[in-house]
Amino acid sequence: MKVPVVERIMRANDVLADEVRQTLRENGIVALNIMGAPGSGKTSLIEQTIARLGETTVAVIEGDIATTLDADRLSKLGVQVVQINTGGSCHLDAGMVKMALAQMKLSTLDLLFIENVGNLVCPAEFDIGEYKKVLVSSVPEGHDKVQKYPLMFRLVDAVVLNKTDLMQHVDFDLGVFRSSLTDINSRAPLFEVSCKTADNLDSWVAWVRSQVTS
Ligand code: MG
Ligand code: ZN
């Protein structure tokens, strides 16, 4: 009896995701769903990217289980930020994003970052009406994450490997990470960056910019 219930939830989510997608399209907004484990650097990546985007008008939806810590950080950058507290839920769904959009001024926006709840499992299964899915992984998490969380790595359109400045301090086999990603998802570009030292952020920012202008 469980399966039909789950299917109904997923179908309801997909209907709302299509509504979100249409709202974004009507307003000419590109939305990136930023997913990744807690502490992988999703908020830092968004901060660093906004600082480098120049004339692009950006907003952020922050998904968190409880606090507004990340939203407070991002609002200091002078961009529209809307916080979604999921009240314990471990992922965002399309209904939450729809409610957040209703509180935003959309007409002037080019780009919307939606920072998902820190989690490598179920956010991948929920379409939230985004244009592209991005996964932030990080060196301290280990090179085996691609193999251990294949669904997440398979579904995304780009992968950012953050904290490359820590590579020399931990046992991280970059060759294994790269080859397992190619095996599981050959279409997603990989950006090996450090949000702390700003190493290689330019290639990632160029990718983001190309999504907005394409
Ligand atoms: Mg965060
Ligand atoms: Zn979840």
The string of pLDDT tens digits covering residues 92-131 is 999 999 999 999 999 999 999 999 999 999 999 999 999 9
Q: How far is CA 37 from CA 21, 72, 195, in A?
A: 25, 20, 16
Q: Is the pLDDT of residue 1 over 70?
A: no
- Distance from residue 121's CA to the centre of ligand 1 (Å): 16
What spacing in Å lies between the alpha carbon of 122 and ligand 2's midpoint?
5
pLDDT digits (tens, 9 = 90+) for 153-185: 999 999 999 999 999 999 999 999 999 999 999
Of 41-45, 130-134, 170-174, 210-214, where does mean pLDDT reach its minimum? 210-214
Domain enclosing residue 82, as ranges: 2-213
The one-letter amino acid at 21: R
Per-residue pLDDT of 12-29, as tens digits, reads 999 999 999 999 999 999
CA angle 53, 113, 25 (to 5 degrees): 100
Task: Give the total number of structural domains in the chain.
Answer: 1
Ligand 2 centre from 151 Cα, in Å?
14
- Nearest listed ligand to the Cα of residue 120: 2
Reference 41, options 202, 209, 201; nearest CA is 201
How far does the centroid of ligand 1 lie from the alpha carbon of residue 3, in Å? Answer: 32
Contacts 24+ apart (CB under 8 A), 38-43: 38/118, 38/119, 39/118, 39/138, 39/140, 40/118, 40/136, 40/137, 40/138, 40/141, 40/162, 41/136, 41/138, 41/162, 41/163, 41/195, 42/115, 42/116, 42/118, 42/136, 43/70, 43/73, 43/74, 43/115
pLDDT digits (tens, 9 = 90+) for 79-100: 999 999 998 899 999 999 999 9
For ligand 1, a single-atom ion, the residues with CB < 5 A are 42-43, 70
* CATH number of the domain within which 164 lies: 3.40.50.300
Q: Which of 58, 92, 94 minimizes the C-alpha distance to 75? A: 58
CA of 17 to the centre of ligand 2 (A): 16
For residues 106 and 111, what is the distance between their CA atoms, to the nearest angstrom? Answer: 10
Q: How many C-alpha atoms does 95 have within 13 Å on its Cβ side?
A: 7
Rounded distance from Cα 8 to ligand 1 centre (Å)? 30
